[in-house]
Amino acid sequence: MNTETLWKTILADLELEVSKPVFQTFLSQTKLLELNGQTATIGCTQPMLINLIETRYQSLLKKMLDTYTKMDTRLVFTAAPRQTGKNIDGPLFTLKTPAHDASPSRIRLNPEYTFANFAVSTSNQMAYAAATAVAKSPGVSYNPLFLYGGVGVGKTHLMQAVAHEIIRQNPAARLIYCTGEEFTNEIIEAIGTKTTVNFKKKYRKLNIFLIDDIQFIAGKNAVQEEFFHTFNAIQQMGGQIVMTSDRSPDEINRLEERLRSRFEGGLTIDIGQPDFELRCAILLIKAKQRGYDLPIETAKLMATNVENPRKLEGVLIRVITESQMNNVPISGSLINNVLGSQIKETDKKNGVKPDKVIEAVADYFHIKPSQLKGDRRDRMLATPRQILYFLFRSEFNLPLMEIGGILGGRDHTTIMYGIKKVSNLMLTDRKMSADILGIKAKLFG
Ligand code: ADP
Ligand code: MG
């Protein structure tokens, strides 16, 4: 594993371990510049922060590094150039002429983040369908497309897949992929160097603008202002805009109202946490990319024990590395070693399908599954239905819209209301918690 991949893996792990502000402000500013024997040189893109990071996070970083390298490393901190460096083009990813694979503008896209490498299941099928539709005819169907969801659910992957597909069909498309942070930095730089004219020229003429983690611009007035005009200019010329965020437009604090309404003006879709099957599929894809045919049983074991796809990739890399270093096949006991003592047996829950949940709830309340799915507003059916929403969400992590879909097109606000009600009742109402336990016992044995 090269230092860059290693560090990416470590950061992905850390992102799940520390709070968001800590990750964004400190840890994400570091990179592994060199690993020479046991000495690891950690670069920090914000020289002001070096001391702070060294005192506060040295031991955490060392712990992670030691886990992966199996060494007792010594950390040295130093300043590192920013990722975009002095390159005034900043996040520019634009192709005026057909590019070769090695052209610098392609480097910003991860070549592995394609539709072909994207596994689809209930938690992400709507997002996938929308993304492929946009890639097929940008500027026509859903504009803007706004994808949101938690860390590691595949937002960046899906967005870059759109970019790959559009470039494949039309290498001359004027396309930029960048993160909200890069966009912000570039505006600040343009304002500082009085080059906002170039900036406007560059962005307002795009055919496709993909902006990842847009929530970053919230609370930054000049940036929001510029983004608003960029957005309008692109849309007026028939260009496509795709955005991702860690939360829905109405949950982004300090986002200007006019932007919020723009964001919601197209299609907004949430991507849920991946279910067990999806985690297995992702593992198989990732293993294959590294030239491994992962036995399905081992994939299942890993997927049972690790919920987040990013973390999953880290575990997979560790498992593969262990297997290579010790020259042993990938097996249950190897995974045991990597994951430590808390390992769970492959989960019984896995393989239970939504229909089975409907059946279990119906059975528990002595009603018919068709009554639960139907739209009769019978009081007797209200609680069982709400319990059903709750189970879909808590046990299967289905997105709200998905739950609405399974139950014959109910509105997501109804679903949300039901889930909240059941979760509140679970804390105060004995009968409710007993009902839930009873149904779960039926389902998972
Ligand atoms: P996000 O941007 O939502 O935080 P990423 O797109 O960075 O998540 O995904 C995290 C990792 O998980 C990436 O390596 C990505 O390829 C992988 N991943 C997530 N969802 C899928 C999927 N459905 N199919 C294949 N890989 C996935
Ligand atoms: Mg992302």
Q: Which residue's CA lies nearest to atom 20 of ligand 1?
A: 154
Cα R_g (the chain), whole angstroms: 24
Please give the angle made by the CA atoms of 45, 51 and 57, to the nearest 5 degrees. Answer: 85
The residues facing 240 across adjacent strands are: 208
What does the alpha-carbon distance between residue 268 and residue 428 come to, in Å, rounded to a whole number?
Answer: 34
Q: Is 295 left (phi over 0), alpha (psi -120 to 50) or beta?
A: beta
- Nearest-CA residue for atom 16 of ligand 1: 157
Is residue 166 within 8 Å of residue 135, measured between CB atoms?
Answer: yes
Query: For atom 5 of ligand 1, which residue has the closest CA?
Result: 154
Atom of ligand 1 nearest to the CA of 150: 3
| Whole-number Å distance between alpha carbons of 352 and 299 | 18
For residue 349, give the 3-state DSSP assignment: coil
Position 350 scores a pLDDT of 57
CA–CA distance, 269 with 399 (Å, rounded to integer): 9
What is the mean pLDDT of each successive set of 10 residues along the chain, which is 445 residues long? 84 81 84 91 84 86 88 89 44 39 52 95 93 95 95 96 95 93 93 92 94 96 96 96 96 96 96 93 93 89 90 90 88 85 61 80 90 82 91 79 81 85 83 87 78
Q: What is the model's pLDDT at position 97?
A: 36
* Protein residues placing their CB within 5 Å of the ion ligand 2: 155-156
Angstrom CA distances, 228 to 133, 144, 204, 235, 263, stand at: 24, 13, 11, 11, 10
User: Quick one: CA torsion of 433, 439, 444, 445, rounded to 10 degrees?
Assistant: 100
Ligand 1 centre and the CA of 366: distance in Å? Answer: 41
| DSSP classification of residue 217 | G
Query: Nearest Cα to 362, choosing from 335, 381, 378, 341?
Result: 381
- Alpha-carbon torsion angle 267, 270, 271, 276, nearest 10: -130
pLDDT at 83: 52
Q: Which numbered atom of ligand 1 lies nearest the CA of 312?
A: 12
Asked if 97 contacts 108 with a C-beta cutoff of 8 angstroms, the reply is no
193 CA distance to ligand 2 middle (Å): 29
What pLDDT, on the 0 to 100 scale, is given for residue 103? 33
Give the HSE-up count for residue 8: Cα atoms under 13 Å, Cβ half-sphere: 10
Q: How far apart are the first and last CA of the chain?
A: 42
What span, in angstroms and rounded, lies between the C-alpha atoms of 177 and 91? 7
Identify the CA nearest to 400 among candidates 378, 386, 387, 415.
Answer: 415
Q: What values do phi and psi take at 442, rounded to 5?
A: -60, -40
Tell me the CA–centroid distance for residue 152 and ligand 1, in Å. Answer: 5
Closest Cα to atom 14, ligand 1: which residue? 310
The rounded distance, in Å, linking the Cα atoms of 92 and 111 is 17
Q: For a pocket test of ligand 1, which of 114, 282, 308, 312 has the largest count of ligand atoms closer than 8 A to its C-beta?
A: 282
pLDDT value of position 218: 96
Please state the atom number of ligand 1 nearest to the C-alpha of residue 153: 3
> Which atom of ligand 1 is nearest the CA belonging to 113?
16
Q: Give the closest residue to 133 by CA, choosing from 30, 240, 52, 272.
A: 240
Q: Residue 418 Cα, ligand 1 centroid: separation in angstroms?
A: 30
Atom of ligand 1 nearest to the CA of 151: 4
- pTM > 0.85: yes or no: no
Strand partners, 39: 36, 74
What local confidence, expressed as pLDDT, does residue 351 receive?
61
Q: Tell the burial category of 399 from Cβ atoms under 10 Å away from its Cβ (0-12, 13-18, 19+).
A: buried
Distance 287 CA to ligand 2 centre (A): 21
Pocket test for ligand 1, best of 13, 24, 157, 245 (most atoms within 8 A of CB): 157
Minimal-distance CA residue to ligand 1 atom 18? 154
Amino acid letter at 407?
L
Q: Which atom of ligand 1 is nearest to the CA of 157?
A: 6
Given this model, what pLDDT does residue 392 score? 86
CA distance to 6, 68, 232, 246, 325, per residue, from 1 (Å): 6, 10, 43, 29, 12
Atom of ligand 1 nearest to the CA of 158: 6
Residues 165 and 132: their CA atoms lie apart, in Å, by 9
Tell me whether residue 322 is exposed, middle or buried, using C-beta atoms within 10 angstroms of its C-beta: 0 to 12, 13 to 18, 19 or more. Answer: middle
CA 383 to chain centre: 33
Rounded-to-integer distance, Cα 240 and Cα 143, Å: 6
Query: What tokens does 45 get?
Result: 């893109």
Task: Please report which ligand is nearest the Cα atom of 15.
Answer: 1
Q: Count the helices and strands in the chain (H runs, E runs).
A: 20, 8
Q: Output the furthest CA–CA distance in the chain (Å, rounded).
A: 71
Residues with CB under 6 A from ligand 1: 113, 117-119, 124, 149, 151-157, 282, 285, 309-310, 313
Beta bridge partners of 302: none
Q: How far does residue 152's CA lie from ligand 2's centre (Å)? A: 7
Angle at 174 between CA 168 and CA 178, to 5 degrees: 90
Q: Which ligand is nearest to the CA of 308?
A: 1
- How far, in Å, CA of 221 to CA of 326, rounded? 54
